[in-house]
Amino acid sequence: MSRSGDDTHLAAWYLRVQQEEDDAMDKIRFLDTLLTERAEWDQVLSQIDEARMSVPGVANEWSMKDEHYRDHLPALCAWLEESRR
């Protein structure tokens, strides 16, 4: 293989590795942002008293305390946290 062929192969390999690193960094940034936003959301929720959390109307007849919000979001965040590793 000629020198220019070696250079082309090396350049293609470098671009492929660089794209993989960029994709990984995007995933890390996405997960960090998601977890930061979740922490901020938890902070907002902690300021709402218990009685108010049970009032329907947040989403039709759902209250903030309903199963939909309480059970699904923690599972999603746990899954995303696990995928960071």
- Give the CA-trace dihedral at 66, 77, 33, 56, to 10 degrees: 0
Cα–Cα distance between 74 and 29 in angstroms, integer? 20
Domain ranges of the chain: 23-84
Q: What is the largest CA-CA distance in the chain?
A: 76
Both tokens of 41, joined, read 């959301």
Entry field: residues in the chain:
85
The tens digit of pLDDT for each residue in 19-35 reads 877 777 788 888 888 88
> Each residue of 31-71: pLDDT tens digit?
888 888 888 888 887 888 888 888 888 777 778 777 556 66
Which among 22, 32, 25, 26 is positioned nearest to 77, based on CA atoms?
32
Inform me whether the pLDDT recorded for 2 exceeds 80.
Answer: no
